[in-house]
Amino acid sequence: MKWRYFRQSVFFGVVRLSALIITLALLGIIAFLFYNGIRAITWDFLTLPPTDSMTKGGIMPAIVGTFYLTVGAIAVALPLGVVSAIYLTEYAKQGLFIRIIRVGVNCLAGVPSVVFGLFGLGFFVVFLRFGSSILAGSLTLGILILPTIIGSAEEALKAVPQTFREASLALGVTKWRTISRIVLPSALPGVLTGAILGVGRAAGETAPIMFTAAAFFTAALPKSIFDEVMALPYHIYVLATAGTHIEQTRPLQYGTALILIALVLGIDLFAIIMRSAVRRKKRW
């Protein structure tokens, strides 16, 4: 008896420890960024473009750029991903064809992000002549996060009780309306979770926007979706590797990283609040 309880408490200890390590790692990263970056953050840092060969001034154009790119990526990936998930779970006859599509989606999730960048360069920037722009960058990031969105939307749709579909269909409601009025609203919290994951990924990626959207330096804010923009991850990359004042700009790099994290968490927080608002309305 004693031995069994001993094993149990060892196991629980390990479980607890793993959770603790993960939490500490996350807190550690945030604390590290905060410690190193907080001094760089001033009102001017947030509201001015970089000056003096990017050794002074702020990162406002990069904040705006990353915001646009992230929103653009979600605007591309969320509708497309949800519609694909609806097709895969609700309409398609399960069979070889669907299996191939699923494998394709999973492969897409495993493709290195720099490959997406090159694809974006070749297809959106050059072939479709969008140039290096918010549009090209958003589309590239959108494709990058598409598997995440499709995957979580599929899970969310599958989690909707079959009885809801039956109840609606048995009332003589068409399949499409059953999906749009009953199934999709019930799946919305799960879909939003996917969107949250997608936002984090899209905002933080450097490689996909390097060739498709990000400018090394531009003080002006974008006027249309065909303008190129500065972006936070790329700005960090530039300051940390490509400048002539790498050591000098260290605080600015940390400050930029801190702002990037804050921006992602901000967007996430918005999605989480939306999700809990939706959840409160749908209980079963």
List residues near other proteins by CB under 8 A: 93-94, 161, 163-174, 177, 181-182, 186, 282-284
- Determine how many CB atoms are found less than 10 A away from the CB of residue 43: 8
Instruction: Name the residue nearer to other proteins (CB basis): 74 or 188.
Output: 188
Instruction: Name the residue nearer to other proteins (CB basis): 154 or 205.
Output: 154
Instruction: Name the residue nearer to other proteins (CB basis): 2 or 93.
Output: 93
Instruction: Name the residue nearer to other proteins (CB basis): 101 or 169.
Output: 169
Instruction: Name the residue nearer to other proteins (CB basis): 127 or 284.
Output: 284
- Determine how many CB atoms are found less than 10 A away from the CB of residue 232: 27
* Cα 41 from chain centre: 24
Angle at 105 between CA 101 and CA 110, to 5 degrees: 145
CB of 101 to other proteins, least distance (A): 17
Nearest to 145 by CA among 219, 197, 90, 217: 197
CB of 153 to other proteins, least distance (A): 19
Q: Look at the alpha carbons of 195, 200, 206, 209 in this order and tell me if their dihedral is positive or negative.
A: positive
CB of 272 to other proteins, least distance (A): 20
Nearest to 214 by CA among 61, 14, 110: 61
Measure the CA–CA gap between 199 and 71, rounded to whole angstroms.
8
CB of 96 to other proteins, least distance (A): 14
CB of 282 to other proteins, least distance (A): 5
